[in-house]
Structure 1
Amino acid sequence: MNATTGPSPTRRTRVAVVFGGRSSEHAISCVTAGSVLSALDRSTYDVIPIGIAPDGRWVLEADDPERLRIGGPDQLPAVDADRPGVTLARTEAGAGLTVSEPSAPPRALGEVDVVLPLLHGPWGEDGTIQGMLEMADVRYVGAGVLASAVSMDKAYMKIVLAAAGLPVMQSITVTAREWAADQTGAVERAEQLGYPLFVKPARGGSSIGIGKAHDAAGLTAAIEEALRHDPKVLVEVSAEGGREVECGVLETLDGGVETSVPAEIRITGEHEFYDFAAKYLPEEHTELDVPAVIPDEVAQRLRDLAAQAFRAVGCEGLARVDFFLMPDGSLVVNELNTMPGFTPLSMFPRMWAASGLEYGALVDRLLQLALRRDTGLR
């Protein structure tokens, strides 16, 4: 197969589901993959699960969705790095997979028609694997190199969105180099935004490494924690009183864009914000309204802004756009996710189900979009 001919009509479309990865969101990527593997129609697709271990090794994973579920706070799934290694290589016949084991000669798995990269965070959602697939001339689901990279880096995402006229929260960036050279100056610069402040790894996700600071001591601790996950940190004004509302965006098969009904996340218990436990551990931490209970006019305005953000960044396939609905009724874009989670608790599939597109049909739609799109400049 090549990017201009597509899969052979005499066989099922071969899908490589790639998950795991080197980022701190490795476990969440595995959970997402388990849900997608369960949903793929095996009468239509020949599915090959490929895991990327935390050290970067690619392996031929077991097609076992149950193994990829969260069992509890200390029972997060991971790619089995001891399984046979796998490589994706471009040949005259097309892009194919080869499996290598110490006790056997390499064996070919055949051509790959499309890759479903279910990777969250750096080294996957940030344009890196997208660039590799472009080089190999393999179709893939989701945004291309630039849109993936811009959306992953929250600081640059804000610059692009603001340039397109979209509202964003005020923020500054702090790098590890700056922090090492002048902590006092970095804190003073951040304090000009006014407390409380949120501190985030600039290229992180799943709320890993995020902290909320109410004073200088808390700010220092939050920056140091965020720097453990990323040498570039975003310090942002807290959207006090803001409601967290999200919207899904999908391309249509004819090249248009459509949006889902919005949904709202409300945090309960001791959680001050939508942290990792509230997102992925037992659901009593959160209350989810799908669709969000907001005025129709606000919902439509939010959906319009979501589509604008999708286009401003140059997204393809899918995205989830997160907003703050402020007490005065204004909307602010929080962030844009080019590969949102597909876990059982994830908002993206829930919003589309509430909009009339069920999980299996959603996954199929994404694959069909990818198969219709050529690699290369577009």
Structure 2
Amino acid sequence: MKKKLRVGILFGGRSGEHEVSLLSAASILKAINRQKYEVIPIGITKEGHWLSVSESQSLLTGSPSASEADPDFAVSAAVLRGGETFEAAPAHPLHLLQLHGSGNSGLEQHAETLGLDVVFPVLHGTFGEDGTMQGLFELADLAYVGSGVLGSATGMDKLIMKQLFAAASLPQTPHVGVLRSEWKADPKRCARLIENHLRYPLFVKPANLGSSVGISKVHDRSELAKAMDLAASFDRKLIIEEGVGGPDAKPRELEVAVLGNDSPEASIVGEIVPGTEFYDYNAKYHSTASVPIIPAKLSKAEEKQIRAMAVAAFRACDCAGLARVDFLMEPIRKGAKARIFLNEINTMPGFTSISMYPKLWKASGVSYKSLIDQLIRLALDRHAEKQQTHFSKE
């Protein structure tokens, strides 16, 4: 009988998108093929504590506090992979990589029972989607779903991402970057800088976050300071973007799902019609007013252009596995062709069965369960390909 692949589903974490991660993980755990995979849930609390398997299950339903984390067990790089063990202090992730002797039979037992073939890190936002967790997997020599350290980091930092998009000659909205320290030191100078380069309405965002957390639409100067303070509470780098369509019209919000490694493919194009002024956090997760349209009503030329741009964005950021690429399209004006702007890329998009990424692939002919299979295969393929790389002269 063929041995089942042991797959770790990693979720939770210290991000502002902790709850979104729980929803994604619960959906994957429900849908994954148990005939093919032995599935190990691995939860991380909001405080950063790694939980035992039983506690990980309860995190999906009861959110245990940090004090409830088992002091005798935490997941380390070696425990994830199986083999040598490391001392792993649940209270601090840096301790996960401290080498430990062979006398700790408790951890050795966990390593033996938990050793994984591949991990699916359903972690959204900082401390999971930004390259930090991917670095841990690389040190553990462990196959994992999604982009590597570089792709994850560039996909999280909107300012760096936009520099890569510009280098690839992909059209974007005008934008300005401001550091939190600059804003706090001289808000008037920062406001002048913004207004000298951009026109209202504006969107003020933390550079490193997702799910529209900390984002505000700013209609005029009176709203700018409050929006900057909110974004600055979530990140040291802020990005301010000029709105598409001007003050009187909303742009169309379009999304494409990309799947693959070195030869990525794009799904059909979908559209979100927000029930609010823009597709913010509440509109995404707490409102039924927003309407997804799949496929989006576009000409063949527009759809071809958007799908090609999605793949180009994926490659520009050195992504792998999966990503959702978001676009803004100008409202149609009489006698003018609507311009299409690349907005951003998300390297670990929401992954519930009703999230846009799986829905776009379902409409393209790939079921949710098959999508999970393909992502695991892509992770294993990428890890196998990496074994061809020499890291020393010997």
Structure 1 length-normalised TM: 0.88
Secondary structure in structure 2 of the residue aligned to 1:259: strand
Contact 1:95/1:138 (8 A) holds in 2: no
Cα gap change, 1:229 to 1:49, in 2 (>3 Å): same
Q: Given the alignment of the two structures, is residue 244 of structure 1 paired with residue 253 of structure 2, yes or no?
A: yes
Amino acid across the alignment from 1:161: F
Which position in structure 1 is the counterpart of 2:219?
Answer: 214
The percentage of counterpart residues that share the same residue type is 42
1:296 offset after TM fit, Å? 1.6
* Aligned-residue CA RMSD (Å): 2.5
Which position in structure 1 is the counterpart of 2:102?
Answer: none
Which position in structure 2 is the counterpart of 1:160?
Answer: 164
Give the whole-Å Cα distance in 2 for the aligned partners of 1:53 and 1:64. Answer: 9
More moved, 358-367 vs 235-244: 235-244
Which position in structure 2 is the counterpart of 1:329?
Answer: 338
Computing the radius of gyration from Cα coordinates, the structure with the larger value is 2
Amino acid across the alignment from 1:301: Q
Alignment deviations for residues 210-265 of structure 1 (CA, whole Å, 9 cap, x no partner): 0011122201110001111112111110112320000011117xx52211011000
Which position in structure 2 is the counterpart of 1:23?
Answer: 15
Give the whole-Å Cα distance in 2 for the aligned partners of 1:261 and 1:311. Answer: 18
Q: Given the alignment of the two structures, is residue 52 of structure 1 paired with residue 52 of structure 2, yes or no?
A: no
Secondary structure in structure 1 of the residue aligned to 2:76: strand
Cα gap change, 1:370 to 1:237, in 2 (>3 Å): same
Q: Given the alignment of the two structures, is residue 138 of structure 1 paired with residue 145 of structure 2, yes or no?
A: no
Which position in structure 1 is the counterpart of 2:178?
Answer: 174
Which position in structure 1 is the counterpart of 2:76?
Answer: 88
Contact 1:279/1:345 (8 A) holds in 2: no
Higher helix share: 2
Contact 2:265/2:311 (8 A) holds in 1: yes
Amino acid across the alignment from 2:13: G
Which position in structure 1 is the counterpart of 2:264?
Answer: 257
1:344 offset after TM fit, Å? 4.0
Cα gap change, 1:277 to 1:175, in 2 (>3 Å): same
Q: Given the alignment of the two structures, is residue 234 of structure 1 paired with residue 239 of structure 2, yes or no?
A: yes
Work out which of the residue numbers 265, 274, 290 in structure 1 matches 2:279: 274
Work out which of the residue numbers 364, 374, 380 in structure 2 matches 1:365: 374
Alignment deviations for residues 107-138 of structure 1 (CA, whole Å, 9 cap, x no partner): 32242110101111111100000011001100
Structure 1 residue ranges (4+ consecutive) displaced by more than 3 angstroms after TM superposition: 61-69, 77-81, 91-101, 104-107, 375-378
Work out which of the residue numbers 274, 287, 290 in structure 1 matches 2:291: 287
Secondary structure in structure 2 of the residue aligned to 1:150: helix
More moved, 367-376 vs 289-298: 367-376
Amino acid across the alignment from 1:243: R
Work out which of the residue numbers 6, 27, 42 in structure 1 matches 2:34: 42
More moved, 207-216 vs 81-90: 81-90
Which position in structure 1 is the counterpart of 2:98?
Answer: none
Contact 2:124/2:348 (8 A) holds in 1: yes
Give the whole-Å Cα distance in 1 for the aligned partners of 2:320 and 2:8. Answer: 19
Amino acid across the alignment from 1:364: D
> What stretches of structure 1 of length at least 5 have no aligned partner?
1-8, 70-76
Q: Given the alignment of the two structures, is residue 303 of structure 1 paired with residue 300 of structure 2, yes or no?
A: no
1:282 offset after TM fit, Å? 3.5
Contact 1:169/1:236 (8 A) holds in 2: yes
Give the whole-Å Cα distance in 2 for the aligned partners of 1:308 and 1:37. Answer: 32
Amino acid across the alignment from 2:359: R
Which position in structure 1 is the counterpart of 2:193?
Answer: 189
Structure 2 length-normalised TM: 0.84
Secondary structure in structure 2 of the residue aligned to 1:87: coil
More moved, 58-67 vs 168-177: 58-67
Give the whole-Å Cα distance in 1 for the aligned partners of 2:89 and 2:152. Answer: 30
Amino acid across the alignment from 2:36: T
1:60 offset after TM fit, Å? 2.2
Amino acid across the alignment from 1:340: P
Give the whole-Å Cα distance in 2 for the aligned partners of 1:307 and 1:177. Answer: 35
Give the aligned length.
356
Q: Given the alignment of the two structures, is residue 150 of structure 1 paired with residue 154 of structure 2, yes or no?
A: yes
